[in-house]
Chains A and B, each alone.
Chain A
């Protein structure tokens, strides 16, 4: 048992180390230019790639003919299908000290005890700058023979391209004086071209007429869309440069312009460039040529090669390479009796490969086999014009064989018109269900209940009924509510008026009238408070009403006593004394005060 486990352990270990051994390190070496002048410099780039994110730095051989400065590193990590790929790029600046042809070999990296070597490259150093053609040196000098501080050059890599062939336009901005901020560029007009910006290169220095210029390059890919004479217009750079003429200096000798970053605003124009665009040759042009120009490859891959009848196979046709990817036409698919063919999708991705535009175009076509057996999707043709070799080329994909099985399941009834080749379906039905014999409920076409007048009427009716009821109820409540409220509010005011009149009669000789007034005031007050008619209101009825409204018992008793006293006094005024009159007035007042505090509902 233990031995077995041990063996498994060893096998596992081995397999792990085998997997490890597979992850290799790629190393590529590149120079930005292969020929430089003695007073120029080249940039050497070493790119390491692998699955490990911690790759060691490359080892450079001794380069006695150059001064080597490291320009730092940049890394890039990508994850594709769970696989981590990391690439690290190291940049070195090489300054030559001697002219000649120098091979740069033996750049290597040691990873996991293995040495990986890069391809050798060669750098030619000339006595005088390569790019310093007499023409360029001329443009560095103005008409007066004075050296220019700055100038802008437009250069194309070919003057005589084919229509649709890429022309690389390079804008070079030379500047020998200090400038402030980011120079602003107005792109050149490129009518008659399809234009794509390739990007800016890192600035470098170049000596012209013994003056050190900083050079900033910007590259464009131009695709002529018509033949004949075409012109790339002027590019304009606006920037602010250190003024040479008017330089302010303060008394302490500090350069104020430099210090504050001010300068003179200048506009720099490039030279227009003319091109003569050739038409494509007629000789050797395939009959089905669609106008694709560049250099491409084509691959067709099916997503599966073994399917059941009527199951789709998606074939991905991938065309990639350099050239105007937008001009790539769909490959011609012949009519095939064995398949039904549908176009599923297409998409394109442009990419910049070095200085060339390129990209990938992907077409997806769905092939649905009609019958079982070994069916073949024949090779698909694709042609294009290759401007580099000035020839038309035709590529063909490999034929794809698809193994088509008869599906398992129920065969469709022969009555179904779609089952020509024995379509099989998974359901337990072999045909549609039979027609209905009853026509069912017939309605006018497109009629919806929610839009019929009846529906709206029925629903609206009840809203109207409710609204009517509500209005009626509110009106009734308002009317009854308002009178009662008004009367009860007026009650104490009226009563006080009456009491005041009674007070003026507080004399024995007018006792009859006094008591009548008191009685009236009290009854009217109660009637108003209760919102009832004061007519025919007797003391007995008052008791009843007050008890009904749940008034305080002592209040009821006092009220009734006073009313009785009033009645008695009105009919026998002679027996009334002045003290009785005063007390009655006081009592009436107190009853009203008490009643004021009672809420009669």
Chain B
């Protein structure tokens, strides 16, 4: 391999791995914030956790602890928001799921009449426990394996039964894993979801102050953002009701 090629490769590796902030520094800030939480100084703990986030890094435990601090501080909407952020980074963590469920019991309106699509529910449960990054690397692994097998077959001219069967199996695994990756990506990132954080949140029939109030939403409810117009988002509630909400009353996950 040529020298410029190796330099490029190592540069890319460094670029993708480094976060640019000294880890030790962040960790001590994190421990300080935890101490504030234990001292029940929740408002201060919140600002300490937020300071770490402001440095441009994130982690599931960081969001989880921030969610806990908001919960104890009485801000149910933001508590649920950060639990959801934490869950997206680490869907397999039991503590995050438990606290999210616990907090959701306090949302004053439980969404009723939710009709879930059984097929998408099944797919969601299929990809639910995995992180997007895990799925991405898994499909990358099958992708590379598939191309190695293709290279053996077409590049070097190896021809035998097991190789053909192996290529087919790897191709199927590749298709399944990349489909799961794209489903997860669409579900978690392309679908813009938000949590209602304001204590009072009127939902209008149109993107104007003069529009009729359709209903009042409670903090902690999760909505999907469908469109925006001026100062308003068109949102879809989990029970499939729609309406317009002022942008500053909700926070995107």
Q: Which of A435, A437, A458 contacts B140 (CB 8 A)?
A: A458
CB distance from A436 to the nearest CB of B (A): 4
CB distance from A411 to the nearest CB of B (A): 13
Interface residues of A in 459-494 (CB under 8 A from B): 459, 462-463, 465-466, 469-470, 472-473
| B238 CB–A CB distance under 8 Å | no
How far, in whole Å, are A434 and B96 apart by their CA atoms in the complex? 10
Q: Which of B103, B155, B185 contacts A469 (CB 8 A)?
A: B155
How far, in whole Å, are A450 and B186 apart by their CA atoms in the complex? 12
Interface residues of A in 34-82 (CB under 8 A from B): none
The reply to whether A450 and B136 contact each other, CB–CB distance below 8 Å, is yes
Given contacts A418-B74, A418-B76, A432-B71, contact A469 B156 (CB under 8 A): yes
CB distance from B36 to the nearest CB of A (A): 10
Given contacts A342-B215, A442-B26, A466-B151, contact A436 B61 (CB under 8 A): yes
The reply to whether B53 and A445 contact each other, CB–CB distance below 8 Å, is yes
How far, in whole Å, are A342 and B196 apart by their CA atoms in the complex? 15
| A253 CB–B CB distance under 8 Å | no
Which of A343, A440, A462, A463 lies at the interface centre, i.e. has the most chain B CB atoms within 10 A of its CB? A440
The reply to whether B101 and A427 contact each other, CB–CB distance below 8 Å, is yes
How far, in whole Å, are A204 and B136 apart by their CA atoms in the complex? 78
| B172 CB–A CB distance under 8 Å | no
The reply to whether A454 and B12 contact each other, CB–CB distance below 8 Å, is yes
CB distance from A430 to the nearest CB of B (A): 9
| A453 CB–B CB distance under 8 Å | yes
Q: Beta-carbon contacts of A421-450 to B below 8 Å, as 1s and 0s?
A: 001010101011111111111111110111
The stretch of B62-70, B161-169, B228-236 that contacts the partner chain: B62-70
Chain A residues near B98 (CB, 8 Å)? 429, 432-433
The reply to whether A425 and B19 contact each other, CB–CB distance below 8 Å, is no
| A344 CB–B CB distance under 8 Å | yes
| B208 CB–A CB distance under 8 Å | no
The reply to whether A415 and B72 contact each other, CB–CB distance below 8 Å, is yes
Q: Beta-carbon contacts of A363-386 to B below 8 Å, as 1s and 0s?
A: 000101000000000000000000
Given contacts A435-B65, A455-B136, contact A473 B106 (CB under 8 A): no
Q: Nearest CB to that of B60 among chain A residues? A: A440
Given contacts A429-B102, A443-B19, contact A449 B74 (CB under 8 A): no
Q: How many chain A residues have a CB neighbour from B under 8 Å?
A: 52
Chain B residues near A440 (CB, 8 Å)? 59-62, 90
How far, in whole Å, are A342 and B108 apart by their CA atoms in the complex? 9
| A497 CB–B CB distance under 8 Å | no
The reply to whether A343 and B58 contact each other, CB–CB distance below 8 Å, is no
The reply to whether A346 and B137 contact each other, CB–CB distance below 8 Å, is no
Interface residues of B in 181-217 (CB under 8 A from A): 181, 185, 189, 212-216
The reply to whether B34 and A473 contact each other, CB–CB distance below 8 Å, is no
The reply to whether B68 and A435 contact each other, CB–CB distance below 8 Å, is yes
Chain A residues near B64 (CB, 8 Å)? 435-436
The reply to whether A462 and B147 contact each other, CB–CB distance below 8 Å, is yes
CB distance from B180 to the nearest CB of A (A): 12
Chain A residues near B99 (CB, 8 Å)? 432-433
Interface residues of A in 8-55 (CB under 8 A from B): none
How far, in whole Å, are A472 and B218 apart by their CA atoms in the complex? 65
| B73 CB–A CB distance under 8 Å | yes
The reply to whether A445 and B102 contact each other, CB–CB distance below 8 Å, is no
A-B contact count (CB 8 A): 157
Given contacts A443-B58, A462-B147, contact A435 B23 (CB under 8 A): no
| B175 CB–A CB distance under 8 Å | no
How far, in whole Å, are A437 and B95 apart by their CA atoms in the complex? 13
How far, in whole Å, are A455 and B71 apart by their CA atoms in the complex? 37
The reply to whether B61 and A439 contact each other, CB–CB distance below 8 Å, is yes
Chain B residues near A344 (CB, 8 Å)? 215
The reply to whether A466 and B150 contact each other, CB–CB distance below 8 Å, is yes
The reply to whether B140 and A444 contact each other, CB–CB distance below 8 Å, is no
Interface residues of B in 2-25 (CB under 8 A from A): 9, 12-13, 15-17, 19-20, 23
Q: Nearest CB to that of B18 among chain A residues? A: A444
CB distance from B102 to the nearest CB of A (A): 5
Q: Which of A425, A434, A449, A466 contacts B137 (CB 8 A)?
A: A449
How far, in whole Å, are A434 and B37 apart by their CA atoms in the complex? 10
How far, in whole Å, are A45 and B151 apart by their CA atoms in the complex? 88
Q: Which of A343, A416, A423, A462 contacts B143 (CB 8 A)?
A: A462
| B118 CB–A CB distance under 8 Å | no
CB distance from A167 to the nearest CB of B (A): 26
Q: Which of B103, B133, B154, B214 contacts A346 (CB 8 A)?
A: B214
The reply to whether A465 and B147 contact each other, CB–CB distance below 8 Å, is yes
Q: Beta-carbon contacts of A338-371 to B below 8 Å, as 1s and 0s?
A: 0010111110000000000000000000101000
The reply to whether B214 and A441 contact each other, CB–CB distance below 8 Å, is no
Q: Which of A445, A448, A472 contacts B155 (CB 8 A)?
A: A472
| B109 CB–A CB distance under 8 Å | yes
| B30 CB–A CB distance under 8 Å | yes
The reply to whether B144 and A459 contact each other, CB–CB distance below 8 Å, is yes
Instruction: Please give 17 more A-B residue pairs, beta carbons under 8 A apart, in addition to A418-B74, A427-B101.
Output: A342-B109, A342-B215, A342-B216, A343-B213, A345-B214, A366-B109, A416-B72, A425-B105, A432-B99, A433-B102, A445-B53, A448-B133, A450-B132, A454-B13, A454-B16, A455-B16, A469-B154
The 8 closest A-B pairs by CB, nearest first: A469-B155, A454-B16, A436-B61, A417-B74, A462-B147, A435-B65, A449-B133, A440-B61
A-B contact list, 30 entries, CB within 8 Å:
A340-B108, A343-B213, A345-B215, A368-B108, A368-B109, A425-B102, A431-B102, A435-B38, A435-B64, A436-B61, A436-B65, A440-B60, A440-B62, A440-B90, A441-B60, A443-B58, A446-B58, A448-B189, A450-B185, A453-B15, A453-B16, A454-B13, A455-B140, A457-B9, A458-B140, A459-B143, A462-B147, A465-B147, A469-B151, A473-B157
